[in-house]
Chains A and B, each alone.
Chain A
Amino acid sequence: MPSDGLLAKYDPNGFFCELFGKMDAPSDHTAKVRDRLSKIKLTGLRRRSKAAENELYNLGITFTVYSEKDSIDRVFPFDVIPRVLSPQDWQILETGVKQRVAALNAFLHDIYHKQHILNDGTVPAELILENKNYQPVMQGFDVPRGTYVHICGIDIVRDHEGRLLVLEDNARTPSGVSYVVENRYLMQRAFPDLMSKIGIRSISNYGPKLHGALKEVSPGGDPDAQVVLLTPGVFNSAYFEHIFLAREMGVPLVSGNDIFVGDDDRVYMKTTAGPERVHVIYRRIDDAFLDPEVFLPTSLLGVPGLMRAYRKGTVTLANAVGTGVADDKAVYAYMPRIIKYYLDQDPILDNVQTHICREEDGLNYTLNNLSDLVIKPVGESGGYGITIGPHASEEELLACHDKLRADPKNFISQPMIDLSVCPTLVDTGIEPRHVDLRPFAVTGKDTWVLPGGLTRVALRKGSIVVNSSQGGGSKDTWVLG
């Protein structure tokens, strides 16, 4: 049971705990961390936590909320008690994530070429071809090294038995990696005593790794390729992350206005000495805004003619256009089959059991078990539109029932997972709060996974919604060994 000191009264209420494991047999790999934590006093912990928050604010590691008249800078809440992963767990995660990324890339290549997987009915053709994120413009186009998903964030949860499960794939422009690295720096300044000599794996080389991978996929794989990061601008809530990535790679952070496509169908940036060639664009804007000549004509964020240059192979876009079809919640349900199909392997990381409401069995099961299930619309992100059956009122369940009936294709359902918890500093002391994990995989020629990832924590008591837009915070994630 919990030792003395700081964690003496901590009780994970029967959930799997990331720090203790199963409470009757606490994990060995966290023993040292627990021991050191227990020696810190609660007041000291609060003081250090407050100092860390101030530092985030001063460093401008914030997102800006704009109202009509004013703008307010907010910090993403940061919890100072780390989440610690054993070398064994990391081994599973790392290989599982690599496997998943390989399958996603093979799948995207196939659906934008010969579509074997659709033709033989393994995945329903209409699910892909009628998906709003499927981009016909990509049909028959070869991307360098067959890599579509250069940066992938895969959301992982752990159930009550401690099993790691994939909750969601993010193959478009997954965000959060800046917090992984900044959280670590913050912890190193605030808790050097907690971290020394326990073999935490370093994450400080994310920028060089990403830069290297992006150069590998440049047209011709030129090691001197000019990479830029394309941002929607300072008003974007992830702007801090764009700064971070540009800095860590040492590349220009550009807006759509800073680059253009020349008559030679090449991309240039406007410099003090005139136009200069751009070879790779890590774009942090959605497909729809990339090129007003092809997608939304009203987009001011993109670059007219960019798709022309892209299709001619003079510039690489990361991630590729049209990857959104692969991280769709409806396609997710087919991922175990997709992995088997292309790699002839069993998934290393299982999916959460998923009922596909477009299929009659799935719909019926969902309607009959509504109060036990989590019902998710397939097109949304950021935790919006989710109904959590066990927590929902009669009225909410009825409303959900109607929505399912009206448009079953738009939904999937999953059993309620008892997400693992981690001790977290809250107003009342140290309490268990539910967490998930988003490891980041970078793929050029090969796939590399940043050891750790973003641990998001649902700060509201009992909540399992970890999204920052809905009361979530983050923690530093330590991979040992």
Chain B
Amino acid sequence: MDNLLARFAENAFWIARYVERADNLARILDVNETFARNNDGEQDWLPIVQLHSDEEHFFERNKEATADSVIFFYILDRNNTSSLISLVRIARENAREIRHLLSTEMWTHINVFYNRLSAMSQRQLTLSRLSGICASIKLDCQLHTGIVEGTLYRDQLWRFYQIGRSIERADMATRFLDIKYHRILPSLSDVGTPVDISEWNALLRSVAGYHAYLRVTPKGMGLESIASFLLFNTRFPRSLAAAVNHVHDHLNSLRAFESLQHVEVPMKTIATLFGIIKTYDTTTVVNEGMHEFLDRIQALLIDFTDELGCTYFGHQQ
């Protein structure tokens, strides 16, 4: 058979999204830890909770957003569905449902990845070890991506997987900007101060974009050029534009090489995103309001996921 069961397509989409999300969460925790270090440990961990809109859930069981409580909540707390262990668990569950379509290497690695996280205890989650833990999680996520690249059969399943990963990256590109621009920024008066610069620096490093950014913008750190880099630079693999391009290509391939019908439905939203990327630059974004702009992009990404679900995953309208 050439066509894929609708559920399998959805499983593949979510494996990619959850692993990518775990990768990004590890990066967010890492960069916040760096902020904390730069600010003599005074750095607030609350923005991480706010970024995920987890306030209610978090404060049900924690009095304060301390480093310890936030780190546990986002790494090992199984009651938190957006903790790293939960993300990897859900990725693994999705993989288990289509285990028969995955390479043994791909399955074994995700299984071992989850088992390793499961074996970790709360005592190991000290602030001093956080960076190392995040590095090892990032490495596992990248290992996963590499195994997929090298072993996963490239039929529809692989394309839905690729779309899932890019949608998550697009989402994360906007969140990363949000965390710095809207939430963490202490106050307007800090803009351009050494603390501000070092935080941009850390942010770029956390998305592995620091050196690429310098090559593109030799003049140095600036809010607008960094936002432009993360949103509109098609050559940076974690940018919004690169992700949207990638989704666009895979949708086209589903139509051209896999003969799938109704590609126009999700394609419409991608075309809208495309249009925005083409016509906006950072100045227009800042004029509209960065946060409002990012919200609009995120809403479109949610629309796209719904359309994909209705068109290919067998969801009801």
Query: Residues of A at under 8 Å CB distance from B?
Result: 57-60, 70, 73, 226, 234, 239, 243-244, 246-247, 252-255, 257-258, 269-273, 276
Contact = CB atoms under 8 A, between A and B. Distances in A.
A353 B4 CA distance: 51
Nearest to A57: B115
Contacts of B160: 272
A273 B261 contact: yes
The 5 closest A-B pairs by CB, nearest first: A271-B3, A246-B100, A247-B100, A273-B3, A60-B111
Contacts of B98: 253
B248 interface: no
A204 to B, nearest CB: 14
Interface string B51-89: 000000000000000000000000000100000000000
B6 A60 contact: no
Given A269-B5, A276-B3, 14 more contacts: A58-B112, A59-B111, A60-B99, A226-B1, A234-B97, A247-B100, A254-B5, A270-B5, A271-B5, A271-B6, A272-B5, A272-B260, A273-B3, A273-B260
B93 interface: yes
Q: Would you call the interface of chain B mostly helix, strand, loop, or mixed?
A: helix
Given A234-B97, A253-B100, A272 B108 contact: no
19 contacts: A58-B112, A59-B104, A60-B107, A60-B111, A73-B115, A234-B93, A252-B100, A253-B100, A257-B7, A258-B7, A270-B5, A270-B7, A271-B4, A272-B4, A272-B9, A272-B160, A273-B3, A273-B261, A276-B1
B259 interface: yes
Interface string B1-27: 101111111000000000000000000
A36 to B, nearest CB: 29
A272 B312 contact: yes
Interface in B103-134: 104, 107-108, 111-112, 115
B156 interface: yes
A244 B98 CA distance: 11
Contact of B3 (A239, A253, A272): A272
Q: Would you call the interface of chain A mostly helix, strand, loop, or mixed?
A: mixed
B96 interface: yes
Nearest to A64: B96
Interface string B298-317: 00000000000000111000
Contact of B108 (A59, A70, A247): A59
Contacts of A253: 98-100
A299 to B, nearest CB: 19
B108 A243 contact: no
Interface string B163-192: 000000000000000000000000000000
Contacts of A247: 99-100
A309 B165 CA distance: 40
B108 A270 contact: no
Counting chain A CB atoms within 10 Å of each CB, the highest count among B93, B104, B111, B259 belongs to B111
Contacts of B259: 273
A270 B111 contact: no
A222 B199 CA distance: 65
Counting chain B CB atoms within 10 Å of each CB, the highest count among A70, A244, A252, A271 belongs to A271
B7 A243 contact: no
Given A270-B314, A273-B259, A252 B112 contact: no
Contacts of B97: 234
Contact of B1 (A73, A243, A252, A257): A252
Contacts of B100: 243-244, 246-247, 252-253
Contacts of B4: 271-272
A253 B98 CA distance: 8
Contacts of A276: 1, 3
Counting chain A CB atoms within 10 Å of each CB, the highest count among B4, B7, B8, B312 belongs to B7
A57 B108 CA distance: 9
